[in-house]
Amino acid sequence: MVEIPTGQRRTRICLVRHGETEWNAARRVQGHIDIGLNENGMRQAAAAGRWLKSAGIAALYSSDLKRAWTTALAIGEAIGLTPQPVPEMRERCYGVFEGLTYAEAQQKYPEGYAAFEGRNADYAFETGESLRAMYDRVTGKLQQIAAAHPGQNVVVTLHGGVLDVINRFVRGNPLEMPRDFLIPNAGINWISTVDGRWTLESWGETAHLEEGALDELPS
């Protein structure tokens, strides 16, 4: 165990991806389109809440998109907290890709899809948001949440694309680096920070789920 110098207090943040939606199952790009959880997603959200019941959570935050917010409500019911909305933790805006399956996006916008799949950090889907812009809004809010809760455990429910950039932020990896980790629906991920230094404690935990969970695409 890493020793923390006197006066420094470690903040632990549990990042929970929202439960499954019908569009997840259909491999359809959601982005800012406000899709709710399917039945399996509701079960996953409840399971995450039960898993976190004894984790000593002091605050609960959530993206305001329905799939994340509903997940947060299920967790909040289990741990006795009301979620606080953080729009900064919304999924990336995928612009012209939203509503299409990944296969349809690749067929309709081959050059754009190649930029997306190749992790071009400045590509913004014509009417959407670049990876770099999302990284800035997400990591800025993440640091604000951490600063507001020194020495406490906090939960944030959010999205696959958001988890993608947070993992890189915590590990110090470039946005362009191919993904080497899973992002399952309702997966539990623990990160922590002390004195501005971030640590990835665990990632993609699914032991609380009775059935398997879908990974974020593309990898």
Residues marked active site are found at: 18, 91
Burial 106-143 (b: 16+ CB within 10 A, else e): beebeebbebbeebbeebbbeebbbbeebbebbbebbe
Is 67 in a helix, a strand, or coil?
helix
Is residue 141 within 8 A of residue 86, CB to CB? The reply is: yes
Tokens 């909305």 correspond to: 85
β-partners of residue 13 are: 154, 191
| 86 closest CA partner among 164, 35, 142, 133 | 142
Q: How far apart are CA 175 and CA 133, in angstroms?
A: 11
